[in-house]
Amino acid sequence: MSTEETPPSAPTNFIQEIIDADNISGKFGGRVHTRFPPEPNGYLHIGHAKSICLNFGLAKKYGGKCNLRFDDTNPTKEDVEYVDSIQEDVRWLGFHWDGLFYASDYFEQIYKYAEQLIQKGLAYVDSSTLDEIRSQRGTLTVPGQNSRFRDRPVEENLDLFRRMRGGEFPDGAHVVRAKIDMAHPNMNMRDPLLYRIRHAEHHRTGNTWCIYPLYDFTHGYSDSLEGITHSICTLEFENHRPLYDWLIEVLDLYHPQQIEFARLNLTHTMMSKRKLLELVETGTVTGWDDPRMPTIAGIRRRGYTPAAMRAFCEEIGVTKFNSLTEVVVLENAVRADLNKTAPRAMAVLKPLKVVLTNYPDGQVEELEAINNPEDPAAGTRQVPFSKVLYIEQDDFMENPPKQFFRLAPGREVRLRWGYLVTCQAAVKDPVTGEILELHCTYDPDTRGGNAPDGRKVKSTIHWVSAEHAVSAEVRLYDHLFAIESVADIPDGDDWKSHLNPKSLVVVPDAKLERSLSTVEPGHRCQFERLGYFCVDPDSQPGRPVFNRTVTLKDEWAKIQRKQVG
């Protein structure tokens, strides 16, 4: 494909340059009117978010307008469920459309355009089979052959077309084709199909129609009818542009300008709606909003923020060449946003019980904890401290190597917002040797975490008071695909064999600090030292479920470094 070549020196804001030039020349009278045109045949994904941010963003920047238009020309694959989810997703990303349209709104008008083309001798009814049509198309190097129906008289074409609409013929009996040039070097110009018969119920027009216009035939006319100025689409439509222009020019209609940009591809991320649908239908994921899905619904449930999505789209920019963006760029955008906005809390995923042997039985202290060091306005909260605590199993080692500075026998560490504690003994199961609990002492003079004598401890660990702990299920997500370049999986390959078997790890009984007992689904926070988390709608009263949105650091890079080193 012409689009896979080395990057030309196109500036990243080349679309803005085109608009600026148009505004200077007065091409569209200074207007900017874009549109986002999804087909309602699936849920929107992160790639669509790029197109949404681009189209709505340009309208905003230039004080113009942006429509949401459903390209609903394919009745058998489309559904109102998708129409609804798409609207919800665009709103969630923070955008408001000026006009809400459906290509099906234009079916009558587009039918009339087809009749006009037939009357001008620029379209004909072809009664060949689809196989015949395909076999006559030629190749990139071999010209196609004219259909034996190509020179049908105008009156016969009109009569057949009207009877197609009237429902006289079964699916596949006839098609309408543009009469352009079967030897055209651009295959899209070799008498492309405009209409096909399809006796299928449409989610909006019901059974009004049994013929449906094809995408290429509908799209430009829809743009034209809405007064779109810049019709922005992805690169694979570059060689459809001559047809887009031809269809509008031959009928002398208002002519928007089509501009192509490179679609977003992300490592470890599947962007094909068809394959995402297959993951849903085979139960490989729990639904379109499974937090591992790259859908807007999925990342929303996972805890991604609209601001992070917009910042990400801004950062990657717009280019004319296809490339693969590291998913870590997206994750870093999420981290950057949540770092500023997510309140901190303490949670222990793999609990190890700690008994403070010198702490008074039954005593509870309320310690002051800062909610977000990045945001003083977020204030403070009280965290209960008592004799029995939980810490992470990983924060203790009986025989620590040199680089391990956390808890170990005889070692002192700081409990976040609390006291300095020293490990006196590990209590073990006499049979299995498993560590059951730690016996530690605390230094009552170190409340807040500092020793009056100025002695230093190397490490601060998080903890939760056992008697105040909230039990929760925590779902740890990782990339859905283990393979980096999902788009490169050859067709026909068993693409599902590249799924990451560890994309979900469930922690059934994590221990959370008291302040998390009342959080609502959608609440986002940072579990200190562990990552950013978001409350899932599966939560029950008194039994929250948390999704890990993203780790604090790029764990994947760490794993790869380890494998290399």
Select 186 or 265, whichever has its Cβ closest to ligand ATP: 265
- In terms of CB distance, is 190 or 273 closer to ligand ATP? 273
Residues contacting residue 353 through CB under 8 Å, at least 6 positions apart: 388, 389, 390, 436, 437, 438, 466
Among 28, 32, 48, 211, which residue interacts with ligand ATP (rule: CB under 6 A)? Answer: 48
**Total number of residues that touch ligand ATP (CB under 6 A):** 14
Q: Which is nearer to ligand ATP, 233 or 383 (CB)?
A: 233
Stretch that binds ligand ATP, among 263-271, 276-284, 292-300, 407-415 (CB under 6 A): 263-271
| 452's tokens | 């009056």
Q: How far apart are CA 550 and CA 535, in angstroms?
A: 13
Beta strands, E only, 181-313 = 193-197, 211-213, 230-234, 257-261
Considering the rule CB under 6 A, would residue 233 count as an interface residue with ligand ATP? yes
Residue in this structure with the two tokens 């990983």, named with its chain if needed = 394
**Looking at beta carbons, which residue is closest to ligand ATP?**
47
Minimum Å distance from CB 236 to ligand ATP? 8
263 in contact with ligand ATP (CB under 6 A): yes
**Largest Cα–Cα distance in the chain?**
102
Q: Is there a contact between 249 and 116 (Cβ–Cβ < 8 Å)?
A: no
CB 47, min distance to ligand ATP, A? 2
The single-letter code of the amino acid at 417 is W
Q: Which is nearer to ligand ATP, 165 or 263 (CB)?
A: 263
Cα dihedral: 82, 88, 90, 91 (round 10): 170
Residue in 333, 335, 334, 327 with CA at minimum distance from that of residue 270: 327
Structure tokens at 122: 């620029």
Distance in Å, CB of 464 to ligand ATP, minimum: 42
Q: 377: Cβ–Cβ under 8 A, 6 or more apart, which residues?
A: none
One-letter identity of residue 262: A
Of residues 225 and 370, the one with the C-beta less far from ligand ATP: 225
* Whether 374 is catalytic: no
Q: How far is the CB of 228 from ligand ATP (least distance, A)?
A: 12
Q: Is 277 in the site for ligand ATP (CB under 6 A)?
A: no
The residue among 311 and 510 lying less far from ligand ATP, judged by its C-beta, is 311
Distance, CA of 477 to CA of 428 (rounded, Å): 32
Determine which residue in the list 228, 247, 264, 461 makes contact with ligand ATP, applying CB under 6 A: 264
Query: Is residue 211 involved in binding ligand ATP (CB under 6 A)?
Result: no
Question: To the nearest whole angstrom, how small is the minimum distance from the Cβ of residue 273 to ligand ATP?
Answer: 4
**Residue 172 tokens, joined:** 């596949």
CB of 497 to ligand ATP, least distance (A): 22
**Residue 39 CB, nearest approach to ligand ATP (Å):** 4
Distance (Å, whole) CA 6 – CA 398 = 55
Nearest CB to ligand ATP, comparing residues 3 and 234: 234
Contact string (CB under 6 A) for ligand ATP, positions 27-46, x = contact: ----------xxx-x-----
The active-site residue out of 35, 152, 241, 263 is 263
Kindly tell me which of 219 and 335 has the beta carbon lying closer to ligand ATP.
219
Conformational region of residue 522, where left means phi above 0, alpha means psi within -120 to 50, and beta covers everything else = left
CB of 345 to ligand ATP, least distance (A): 35
- Binding residue for ligand ATP, selected from 33, 50, 202, 514, defined by CB under 6 A: 50
Tell me: does residue 273 bind ligand ATP (CB under 6 A): yes
**Which of 273, 300, 381, 414 is an active site residue?**
273
Position among 10, 214, 253, 271 found at the interface with ligand ATP (CB under 6 A): 271
Distances from the Cα of 503 to the Cαs of 216, 491, 532, in angstroms?
38, 23, 17
Does position 256 bind ligand ATP by CB under 6 A? no
Among the options 31, 39, 137, 278, which is catalytic? 39
Which lies closer to ligand ATP via its Cβ, residue 233 or residue 248? 233
Options 28, 47, 367, 477; binder of ligand ATP; rule CB under 6 A: 47
Q: Which long-range contacts (CB under 8 A, 24 or more apart) does 444-451 make?
A: 444/419, 446/414, 446/419, 446/420, 447/365, 447/367, 447/418, 447/419, 448/367, 448/417, 448/418, 449/414, 449/415, 449/416, 449/417, 449/418, 449/419, 449/420, 451/420
Query: Catalytic residue at 263?
Result: yes
Task: Dump the DSSP string for 296-350.
Answer: HHHHHHHT--HHHHHHHHHHH---SS---B-HHHHHHHHHHHHHHHPPEE-EESS
- Binds ligand ATP by CB under 6 A, chosen from 22, 28, 43, 51: 51
CB of 126 closer than 8 Å to CB of 149? yes
Q: Which is nearer to ligand ATP, 270 or 550 (CB)?
A: 270
Smallest distance, ligand ATP to C-beta of residue 505, A: 28
- 81 CB contacts (<8 Å, ≥6 apart)? none
Quick check: 115 binds ligand ATP (CB under 6 A)? no
Tell me, yes or no, if 381 is annotated catalytic. no
Q: How far is the CB of 482 from ligand ATP (least distance, A)?
A: 21
Interface contacts to ligand ATP, rule CB under 6 A:
37-39, 41, 47-48, 50-51, 233-234, 263-264, 271, 273
Which residues are the active-site residues? 39, 263, 273
